[in-house]
Structure 1
Amino acid sequence: MKPFCFALDQIINSENASMHPMDIGLIRGYAVFDFFRTTNYSPLFLKDYLKRFTSSAKKTHLSLTLDTKQLESVILELIKKNDLKEGGIRMVLTGGVSENHFSPDKGSLYIFCEELLLPSPEKYNKGINLLTVDYIRPIPEIKTTNYALPVYLSADWKSKGVEDVLYHFNGIISESSRSNIFIVKDGLISTPKENILLGITRKRILEIEPTIVVRDISLQEVLEADEVFISSTTKRILPITQVDGKNIGKGIPGDITKSIFEKFLSLEKESAY
């Protein structure tokens, strides 16, 4: 964590930030967050992330005392104070301390800056492996802090050569634990439409490639796809070359995935705040 953060109502030294031990963000796991990157001191796609964060707060009945302009001002000040040229910024709004220790109350807002490590060149060049899991993330349209299942499962990912999970239910896929997913078959790109977080990177990919079809996708279609890739803030566009240890297509990153990645990198440069 970088030296300065925003905690409760002001920018302070990060080591002095604290949360009440009875906050339901801690004892019930009820909180929302969002995360975005900076490049050359500019927060990428900031307005999109702030819109999603404020929407998450409203949908989860959490009180957010700062409006988007005030949040933006705090973020820009944190970037300056932390000299955050290339890094990550995390916004967290907790469920608060309630009388019954269960229902949402006035929560606490935290914004802090982090070092950020993007995937290694090897992962972009060779692709990664996902492990399928029968699961739907609770209230998937909201970016909550509830990552209990994938964190639990991650204990043996390294030994299995797995990067993350792919959720599916009744034969239909939804998302990875921290990413949206796309498949390519016979030149046509598709991405799931339900039980997903509407990712900001996903949104940009849909703008880059307006012919992408948003629909239900079966797990079998993933296994039979020519190419598969995931998208997220921290991964950008990352090729999936194996699912459950089985090769996708030729088992190497495909040309369409590479093309979208290059277009997204260009969009990043154009869209710096």
Structure 2
Amino acid sequence: MSMYLMNDRFVKDDEVTISIEDRGYYFGDGVYEVIRVYGGAMFTAEEHIGRLYESAEKIRMELPYGEEEMIAKLARLVADNGVKEGHVYVQATRGAAPRVHQFPGEGITPVITAYTKSYPDHAPAAEPAKLKSAADIRWLRCDIKSLNLLANVMAKQEAFEAGCTEALLHRDGTVTEGSSSNMFGVKDGVIHTHPVSNFILNGITRRVIMQCCEELGQPVKEEPMALEDVYEMDEFFLSSTTNGILPVSEIDGRKIGDGHPGPVTERLMAAFESKLPEPIATR
């Protein structure tokens, strides 16, 4: 039976209870993170939890314990559940209180929950992704990793119904990111990606990629891409916590390059792979 984190306690799945008055349920009033686990070790946990606390601060929510304690609790959860390859999900809501739009008064404590998910052993490598462009109708604070994901869900469903892996979001023809990923195009050996702003979430995997680019001497232009220019890219790839770097073979039915991972993408994939943690030894 899996173990879960509820606030400061580790409980079994049949002991998990969430109030119907939880503001996450009513309003999506909360923030979350997903941390990838490789070989039993969390990858970039400090960066993910740092962003969790930054998001909480941006919505004026004070979490009941600090970042180091949070990381330690999640590491224990991963170990107790025996996760080797998978991820840990953690979220914090503003707490349970009578339904009013303004923040509840004093005495209401945020609710923290977390669980793990294991991936199948020897899972085949993901096929290059197909993308479907979709209007970016999200709110204007996409830099906050909040629970308000309905627009993301709608875009992902639109892509799914078109037989695609992911939605390529754009605001008035300017590409921002994916419904659950960051986007990168490659033209004449130069990587193009949207700059960090309130229009995108600065993904942790995105940050690792930017570090890899710096170490490799790989040119990058952080500037808005026009949707019409994306179709002419030599290579394209997306990034996320669960996928790492995933090459893109076509966008809106138009093949990108020859439909296979290009040299810049492959070089970055190798550099990213080299940064993954060593597996935790088991007795």
Q: Same fold (TM over 0.5)?
A: yes
Q: 2:240 aligned with 1:232, yes or no?
A: yes
Q: How does 1:2-21 map to 2 (within 5 A)?
A: 3-21=2-20
Q: Which residue of 2 aligns with 1:200?
A: 204
Contact 1:36 1:88 in 2 (8 A): yes
Partners of 1:119 and 1:235 within 8 A in 2: no
Q: For the Cα contact (< 8 Å) 1:3–1:15, is it kept in 2?
A: no
Aligned residue among 209, 225, 229 for 2:213: 209
> Does residue 184 of structure 1 match 2:192?
no
Q: Report matched runs for 1:80-91 at 5 Å.
A: 80-91=79-90
- The one-letter code of the counterpart of 1:183 is G
Deviates more, 1:136-145 or 1:198-207: 136-145
Offset at residue 271 of structure 1 (A): 10
Partner of 1:172: 174
Equivalent pair of 1:96/1:104 in contact (CA under 8 Å): no
Structure 1 contact 45–271 (Cα < 8 Å) conserved: no
1:92 paired residue number: 91
Does the 8 A contact of 1:4 with 1:81 survive in 2? yes
Q: CA deviation at 1:231?
A: 0.5
Question: Which residue of structure 2 aligns with residue 39 of structure 1?
Answer: 38
Change (3 A) 1:156 1:132: closer
Aligned-pair Cα RMSD in Å: 2.1
Given that 1:41 and 1:86 are in contact with CA atoms closer than 8 Å, whether structure 2 keeps it comes out as yes
Compute the displacement of 1:59 (Å). Answer: 0.7
Deviations, residues 175-194 of structure 1 (Å, cap 9, x unaligned): 00110011100011111013
Report 1:25-64 matches (<5 A): 25-64=24-63
Query: Which of 148, 151, 155 is the matching residue for 2:150?
Result: 148
CA drift of 1:251 comes to: 2.3
Please name the residue that 2:112 is paired with.
109
After TM superposition, the runs of 4+ consecutive aligned structure 1 residues lying more than 6 A away are none
Q: Kindly state the Cα deviation for residue 158 of structure 1 after the two structures are TM-superposed.
A: 4.3
Residue in 2 aligned with 1:72? 71
Aligned length: 268
Aligned partners of 2:21, 2:100: CA distance in 1, in Å? 7
Structure 1, unpaired ranges of 5+: none
Note the alpha carbon deviations across 1:195-234, whole angstroms, 9 max, x for none.
Answer: 1101111001101112322111111121111111000110
CA-CA distance at 1:3 after TM superposition: 0.7
On the 8 A contact 1:7/1:110 being kept in 2, the answer is yes
Q: Secondary structure at the match of 1:209?
A: helix
Deviations 1:10-47 (A, max 9, x none): 11112211211121211112221000111122111111
2:68 aligned counterpart, secondary structure: helix
Contact map agreement 2:236 2:249 (CA 8 A) in 1: yes
Residue type at the aligned position of 1:203: R
2:255 matches 1:250: no
Distance in 1 (alpha carbons) for counterparts of 2:278 and 2:83: 19
Q: What TM-score results when the alignment is normalised by the length of structure 1?
A: 0.91
**Paired residue secondary structure (1:36):** strand
Does the 8 Å contact 1:154/1:164 carry over to 2?
A: yes
Q: Distance in 2 between matches of 1:69 and 1:78?
A: 14
| Partner amino acid, structure 2, of 1:232 | S
Query: Which ranges in structure 2 are unaligned for 5 or more consecutive residues?
Result: none
- 1:122 CA drift (Å): 4.9
